């Protein structure tokens, strides 16, 4: 199980590195066209889904919270708040 997660993480890291290199190579005009195409895709998906939203299970919420904790702690340390549980 852990090996599969590590392989998936390595794959995502390498593929995102190639995407970052590709973005550095693109002109601003190409980036704007890409953003426009992605916005259109979002509009189409929202139209198809309507009012349906993905349902998060308690396990999903726990995973998201665990993934966000380092970011929240860093943000709290940068802003000087007294607790990582402070709401923004």
Do 46 and 60 share a domain, yes or no? no
Four-CA torsion 60, 61, 67, 72, nearest 10 degrees = 170
Do 47 and 82 share a domain, yes or no? no
CB contact set of 4 (below 8 Å; sequence gap of 6+) = none
Q: How confident is the model at residue 83 (pLDDT cuts 50, 70, 90)?
A: low
What pLDDT digit, counting tens, does each position of 35-52 carry? 999 999 999 988 888 877
Do 32 and 71 share a domain, yes or no? no
pLDDT at 37: 95
Instruction: Count up the domains in the chain and report the number.
Output: 2
CA angle in degrees (0–180, nearest 5) for 60-61-62: 90
Do 44 and 64 share a domain, yes or no? no
Do 45 and 7 share a domain, yes or no? yes
Beta strands in the chain (DSSP E): none
Do 29 and 60 share a domain, yes or no? no
> Of all residues in the chain, what percent carry a pLDDT higher than 90?
35
Predicted model pTM: 0.41
What pLDDT digit, counting tens, does each position of 9-32 carry? 999 999 999 988 988 888 999 989
Do 6 and 37 share a domain, yes or no? yes
Structural domain range at position 9: 1-53
């Amino acid at each position: 199980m852990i090996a599969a997660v590590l392989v998936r993480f390595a794959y995502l890291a390498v593929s995102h590195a190639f995407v970052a290199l590709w973005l550095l190579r693109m002109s601003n005009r190409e980036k704007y066209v890409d953003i426009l195409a992605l916005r259109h895709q979002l509009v189409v998906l929202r139209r198809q889904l309507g009012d349906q939203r993905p349902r998060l299970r308690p396990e999903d919420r726990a995973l998201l919270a665990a993934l966000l904790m380092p970011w929240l702690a860093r943000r709290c340390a940068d802003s000087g708040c007294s607790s990582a549980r402070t709401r923004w």
